[in-house]
Each structure stands twice: as structure tokens, then as C-alpha cells.
């Protein structure tokens, strides 16, 4: 990590940020930046914006911009850092980088700034992974959960439990080292109490992953129904705009229409599909085949029925496709006289909602139900939801090893049996914070980052 690295950290707007980190970061920026006050950036106060001119190797002006020097250890990476705040033009930022490269700075790799922060002890691995989640968050709630994890919502309790287990293991080792001494039964009781508490906490954290994954990735949702049941009208109502073409002609929707919809704290990845029916039209049949495949891959099905007409054979195709899936029956067209036999739907659906996608009547009931169905009702997101599959797997392994150690302590087994499983739990928890993780895993984690972060 002796190299000084640089990368465009943000672009595409009126302001573009170039970030530099390493032993020569401030010196390199000072070589290409001429402050208006005439003082080199190396003499500038830390964390203070300095206005000046950015020049290339030949002295030509690249931009009028700001620069800031940041001194270790109070930096993101734990190294000396400097930043240039330029105009956001791609040409300006590219020329600025080239000027820095002429000073011996090299292009940063994907995730290298955050990786240096991790290696320099500025954050643990769970916090570093949360930076990636924060950058890629698709909703405000996902960003809120990730920001809390950057601040230690996962790393802090994991570190705390790990230290408690290490203390218990040390106590048991002391007993093992003096085999002639009689073992105090209280030692096993205290260990069992600790292991029970930690095991329960670890399982709760691991089990939050499914909800956390939904928060981060959203829920694949398909709108299914026979032709003219009102599927496209429902999609337009969810979006609040006319996205799908709505006509009284059956078979208007023939291909998949995909959109993201925010419902409470939840991102719904909605797909409108072709109406399910028997048809001789090969194009329409292709759309129906795609609808079937999409339904199989979805986590939630909004099964739309025309509440103004009796259930028919085509509706039976919809019922068959929802089997085994999380699904909501929607009796659409509540603004028209009701003619559907609701009792025929009751055996197939836990939730049946009557609404009018056209007028919006009953729509709020659907919007409040969907987040609750997937376990994301209203509530503050404090980082407690695990959104990372690697962390969830490590938490589950740690819980299993703690549970095994708890059984050993309660069964009166020898101290080394308790210690062996407890040490396995400690190692698994270390994978989350990065204390026992392998280099190959670290490299894979940061390779998913974008350049400049």
C-alpha cells in the first residue's frame, strides 16, 4: 500500500471529485494545483478548501477549482489524502487525472480506497461491505440501513460477542492448564448463561437476512390475470403514471413490462404480463409463456380478477399458477356492480382485496398489505437487518457452534469440548469483522466496488 492512488470519485454533475490517497497524496496534488493565495497545498490547514488553478505538466490551465489536504490519521483511508473539486466535465476530470499520473500517482483499483480504510483499521469488514450497500442503495430505507452499518450497527455487536466468548475461552483454558484443581461447577453455569444469550442473539441476526435482502434488492413481483382483468391499469396505478397501454381489446399486452415501484419501505420490481388464456396467436402465446415463467421466478404474485364478472376458465389458469407462491387476490373494478363469486377464491388466497385500479378505491389497503407480507412494515431501520449473504452465513455458523458449546457446558462435558466449539464461533465472527477472513475473500469483496470508492 505504499503507492499513491487517485480516481474520479463522483462525476456526471456540475461538480466532479477526484480523490487521492497515499504517502505522496498532498504533495502530488500540490504539484498540479496553484492556490490563489500563492501558498502550496502542503502548507494549507487540514480539511480547509483552497481555491486555485489546476494545471497540466506543461503549465496549461485545466480548470479553476478547489483543493483540500487531509492529514492522517483523520482521513477515510487512514493515509494522507487530498481531493480536487473540479467542474464535472469528463474532459476536465480526465485531464486532471493525467496530470496526477505524471506526478507518479497511479489509477486506483475498484474499492481500493475502502480496502485501505479496512486494512488501516479505520473500519471493520462489515462496515466496508456496508459502504458498498450504501453506494448501491436503491431506496432511502436501504441507504439508511447501510449507513447505520457503516457506523457499526453490525460490527459493534459482533465484536462485543466475540470478546465475551474469548474471555470465556480464556477462563476455561486456565482451568485446563491446572488439571489437578477441582473445577468449580459455577464455571459451567456462567458459561451456559453466556452461550445461551449469545446463541439467541446470533440466530436473530442471521434470520434477519431474508428481510434485509428484500430491503436491498427489492421483491420480484408479477401481475397475473386473464385478459382485460385490469392488470395494466393496476400497473399504471402503482406507478402513478400511464406506463402500459390500456384498451378493451383482449391481448393488448403481449410482452413483459418491468418497472420499479416504491411501496412503503419496499422496492417492488413489478412485471406486467400478457393475459392468461388459450390462444392460437403465436405472438400472444409467446407472451403468455413468458408470463408463466415470470410467475415461477417471482416472490410475490398480484393475481388480478375482474370483480364485475363471474370467474371463468381463464381465471382457473391464474389460480393454478399462484399455487405455492406468496400471492394476493385482487378483485378489480369495484367501481362496477359486483358479480364475482368471492367464496371460490377463499381456499386459494389468505388475502383478498377489493379495489378499483381505475378510481383508486381500496388501493391503500393493497399498499399497506404488501410490505407486511414480506416482513417490511413501518419502523426505523437502525442497521439491524443483515443484507449481506456472507455475513448471514458466518452468523449462522457462529450460532451453531455456540449452540454446540452450550450443549457441552450443560451436559457436563470436559472443558476442552466447550472450548473447541466456542473457538469455532469466535473464528466465524472474525470472518464478519475481518479479523479471521482470508485474503482471497477480502479481494473478492472489494472487487465488487466501483472505482473511486
* Assigned fold of 5-108: Gyrase A; domain 2 (3.30.1360)
Rounded Cα distance, 295 and 299, in Å: 8
Hey, what's the cell of 407? 450443549
State residue 293's pLDDT score. 57
State residue 251's pLDDT score. 45
State residue 66's pLDDT score. 96
The structural domains of the chain, with segments of one domain joined by +, span 5-108, 127-208+386-447, 218-373
Task: Indicate whether this model's pTM tops 0.75.
Answer: yes
State residue 254's pLDDT score. 41
Rounded Cα distance, 104 and 246, in Å: 61
Which residue's C-alpha cell is 492556490?
Answer: 35
State residue 200's pLDDT score. 95
pLDDT mean values, one per 10 residues, the chain (453 residues): 88 86 96 93 92 92 95 94 93 94 94 94 93 88 90 94 93 69 69 94 93 86 84 82 45 60 82 60 53 64 89 82 83 90 87 89 88 73 85 96 93 85 95 90 88 86
Q: In what order do the strands lie in the sheet with 33-35?
A: 33-35, 50-55, 61-70, 81-87, 15-21, 5-10, 106-107
Cis amide leading into 73 (omega within 30): yes
State residue 96's pLDDT score. 94
CATH architecture of 218-373: 3-Layer(aba) Sandwich (3.40)
For 127-208+386-447, CATH gives 1.20.120.430
Rounded Cα distance, 27 and 81, in Å: 10
List 6's β-bridge partners, or say none.
20, 107
Helix (H) or strand (E) holding 261, with range, is: strand 257-263
Per-residue model confidence as pLDDT tens digits over 284-343:
455 555 655 555 657 888 889 998 889 888 888 788 778 777 888 989 999 999 888 888
CA angle in degrees (0–180, nearest 5) for 65-82-442: 130
Taking the CA atoms of 391, 393, 397 and 403 in sequence, report the sign of the dihedral they define: positive
State residue 76's pLDDT score. 95
Region of residue 251 (left: phi > 0; alpha: psi -120 to 50; beta: else): left
Amino acid at each position: 500500500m505504499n503507492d499513491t492512488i487517485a480516481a474520479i470519485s463522483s462525476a456526471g454533475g456540475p461538480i466532479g471529485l477526484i480523490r487521492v490517497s497515499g504517502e505522496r497524496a498532498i504533495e502530488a496534488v500540490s504539484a498540479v494545483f496553484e492556490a490563489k493565495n500563492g501558498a502550496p497545498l502542503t502548507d494549507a490547514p487540514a480539511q480547509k478548501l483552497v481555491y486555485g488553478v489546476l494545471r497540466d505538466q506543461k503549465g496549461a490551465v485545466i480548470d479553476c477549482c478547489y483543493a483540500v489536504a487531509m492529514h492522517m490519521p483523520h482521513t477515510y483511508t487512514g493515509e494522507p489524502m487530498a481531493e480536487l473539486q473540479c467542474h464535472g466535465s469528463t474532459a476536465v476530470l480526465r485531464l486532471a487525472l493525467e496530470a496526477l499520473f505524471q506526478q507518479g500517482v497511479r489509477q486506483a483499483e475498484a474499492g481500493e480506497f475502502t480496502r485501505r480504510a479496512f486494512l488501516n483499521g479505520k473500519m471493520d469488514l462489515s462496515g466496508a461491505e456496508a459502504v458498498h450497500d450504501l453506494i448501491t442503495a436503491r431506496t432511502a430505507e436501504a441507504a439508511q440501513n447501510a449507513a447505520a452499518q457503516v457506523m457499526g450497527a453490525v460490527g459493534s455487536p459482533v465484536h462485543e460477542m466475540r470478546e465475551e466468548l474469548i474471555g470465556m475461552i480464556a477462563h476455561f483454558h486456565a482451568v485446563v492448564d491446572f488439571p489437578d484443581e477441582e473445577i468449580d461447577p459455577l464455571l459451567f453455569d456462567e458459561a451456559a448463561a453466556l452461550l445461551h444469550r449469545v446463541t439467541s442473539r446470533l440466530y436473530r441476526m442471521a434470520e434477519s437476512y431474508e428481510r434485509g435482502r428484500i430491503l436491498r434488492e427489492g421483491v420480484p413481483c408479477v401481475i397475473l390475470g386473464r385478459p382485460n382483468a385490469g392488470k395494466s391499469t393496476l400497473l399504471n396505478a402503482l406507478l402513478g403514471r400511464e406506463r402500459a397501454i390500456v384498451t378493451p381489446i383482449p391481448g393488448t399486452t403481449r410482452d413483459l413490462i418491468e418497472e420499479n415501484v416504491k411501496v412503503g419501505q419496499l422496492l417492488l420490481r413489478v412485471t406486467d404480463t400478457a393475459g392468461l388464456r388459450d390462444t392460437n396467436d403465436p405472438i400472444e402465446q409467446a407472451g403468455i409463456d413468458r408470463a408463466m415463467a415470470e410467475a415461477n421466478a417471482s416472490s410475490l404474485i398480484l393475481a388480478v380478477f375482474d370483480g364485475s364478472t363471474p370467474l371463468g376458465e381463464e381465471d382457473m389458469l391464474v389460480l393454478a399458477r399462484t399455487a405455492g407462491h406468496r400471492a394476493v387476490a385482487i378483485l378489480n373494478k369495484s367501481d362496477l356492480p359486483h358479480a364475482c363469486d368471492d367464496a371460490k377464491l377463499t381456499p386459494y388466497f389468505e388475502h383478498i382485496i377489493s379495489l378499483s385500479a381505475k378510481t383508486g378505491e381500496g388501493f391503500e389497503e393493497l399498499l399497506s398489505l404488501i410490505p407486511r407480507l414480506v416482513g417490511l412494515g413501518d419502523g426505523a431501520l437502525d442497521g439491524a437487518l443483515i443484507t449481506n449473504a456472507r455475513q448471514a452465513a458466518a452468523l449462522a455458523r457462529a450460532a451453531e457452534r455456540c449452540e454446540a458449546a452450550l450443549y457441552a457446558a450443560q451436559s457436563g462435558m470436559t472443558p476442552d469440548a466447550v472450548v473447541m466449539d466456542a473457538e469455532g464461533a469466535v473464528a466465524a465472527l472474525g470472518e464478519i469483522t475481518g479479523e479471521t477472513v482470508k485474503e482471497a475473500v477480502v479481494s473478492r469483496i472489494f472487487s465488487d466496488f466501483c472505482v473511486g470508492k
